[in-house]
Amino acid sequence: MQAKTIRIIGVPLDYGADRRGVDMGPSAIRYAGLHEKLRQVGHVVTDVGNLPVPVPESRTSPDTHLKYLDEIVKVSRILARTVEKAMMEDAFPLVLGGDHSIAIGTIAGLLRRQTRLGLLWFDAHGDYNTDRTSPSGNIHGMPVATSVGKGHEALMTAYHGHFVDPSKIVYIGVRTLDPPEAEALRSSGMTVFSMHEIDRYGMREVMRRAIDIVKADTDGVHCSFDIDALDPLYAPGSGTPYSGGLTDREAHLALELLAEGDVLTSMEMVEVNPILDEHNRTGELAANLIASALGHRII
């Protein structure tokens, strides 16, 4: 992999989910030695720190269909500008969450510089709900829908009219979907490699197909990695655990294959919850997975 200038952006946003604790995720990943791991690979690493995010206790959320809408929109706008600035300065944006609603701002910023974006979405869930279909009102279940221009208009204000082509979105590791979400995905034009396909074809073949899709006719590839893509046996520090997920080696292999092709132009790691973790196992795993995606090898 060619050496990169990596710009780390922390987003301690804890509004998009019901379970508290993901606001400490960026610190847990940094504490696990992320900077040194990336420097050992040969990258230049800069860290802009965490974006300002007020704690939920200082805010109220009157709309149960879109919890903390105003707060998430404000953070998304700031994050979009920060990501865009990193790309304008030829840096690789590496965003640390925080819950998965931060992807709304990350992708909005990327689209300002890469209008034909390929998107790899590692997740146990579909995140394809809207305010009309979400059973919880949690916005961390809506970023993919927002990225293609579906859902509440306020969530799309940072996008400036540019959205991701659904045919350039690939899911990896999905294993639980809300029924309306599953129905919408079937007609969305997106590619979904659930755990069934990974079991059936193997991670190497799944990643070969995924990379072919997101590379073709795009000007950048973003990897959005929710730590709950892994089985909770390997990643206990997740607020939405669901059994039957990726093993740690399957996840590493997937990201190592991305590094081999040097296809990524940005990445984010989300939903690490230190409150639910065991001695920062999940934070360390997240840091190691990022390192794998950015070129770390055993030998």
pLDDT, one tens digit per residue, over 139-150 is: 999 999 999 999
Q: Verify whether residue 165 is a known catalytic residue.
A: no
Mean per-residue pLDDT, 100-114: 98
Q: Verify whether residue 228 is a known catalytic residue.
A: yes
Confidence band for 55, pLDDT divided at 50, 70 and 90: confident
- Whether the pLDDT of residue 65 is over 90: the answer is no
Domain 5-293 bears CATH identifier 3.40.800.10: yes
Q: Verify whether residue 226 is a known catalytic residue.
A: yes
Mean per-residue pLDDT, 80-89: 98
- Whether the pLDDT of residue 7 is over 70: the answer is yes
Which CB contacts under 8 angstroms, 24+ apart, belong to 58-63?
59/15, 61/15, 63/137
Q: Give me the pLDDT at residue 192, please.
A: 98
- Whether the pLDDT of residue 58 is over 70: the answer is no
Q: Give me the pLDDT at residue 20, please.
A: 87
H or E segment and range at residue 282: helix 281-293
By the 10 Å C-beta count (0-12 exposed, 13-18 middle, 19+ buried), 15 is classed as buried
Exactly one of 14, 23, 99, 123 is catalytic; name it: 123
Report the percentage of the chain scoring pLDDT > 90.
88
Alpha-carbon radius of gyration of the chain: 17
Exactly one of 125, 152, 222, 252 is catalytic; name it: 125
Angle (CA) 102-107-110 rounded to 5° is 135
Mean per-residue pLDDT, 176-181: 92
pLDDT, one tens digit per residue, over 19-51 is: 789 999 999 999 999 999 999 999 999 999 999
Confidence band for 162, pLDDT divided at 50, 70 and 90: very high
- Whether the pLDDT of residue 61 is over 70: the answer is no
Report the percentage of the chain scoring pLDDT > 70.
97
Residue-averaged pLDDT of the chain: 95
- Whether the pLDDT of residue 69 is over 80: the answer is yes
- Whether the pLDDT of residue 59 is over 70: the answer is no
Confidence band for 4, pLDDT divided at 50, 70 and 90: very high
Exactly one of 100, 152, 222, 296 is catalytic; name it: 100
Exactly one of 127, 181, 268, 277 is catalytic; name it: 127
Report how far residue 16's alpha carbon sits from residue 103's, in angstroms, rounded to the nearest whole number. Answer: 11
> Which of 175-184, 196-205, 261-270 is the least confident region?
175-184
Q: Give me the pLDDT at residue 17, please.
A: 76
pLDDT, one tens digit per residue, over 116-155 is: 999 999 999 999 999 999 988 999 999 999 999 999 999 9
Exactly one of 23, 71, 131, 140 is catalytic; name it: 140
Exactly one of 14, 131, 197, 226 is catalytic; name it: 226
Q: Verify whether residue 127 is a known catalytic residue.
A: yes
Confidence band for 1, pLDDT divided at 50, 70 and 90: confident
Is 213 within 8 Å of 191 (Cβ atoms)? yes
By the 10 Å C-beta count (0-12 exposed, 13-18 middle, 19+ buried), 200 is classed as exposed
Exactly one of 231, 268, 271, 277 is catalytic; name it: 271
Residue 201 CB partners (closer than 8 Å, separation 6+):
none
Q: Verify whether residue 271 is a known catalytic residue.
A: yes
Q: Give me the pLDDT at residue 60, please.
A: 64
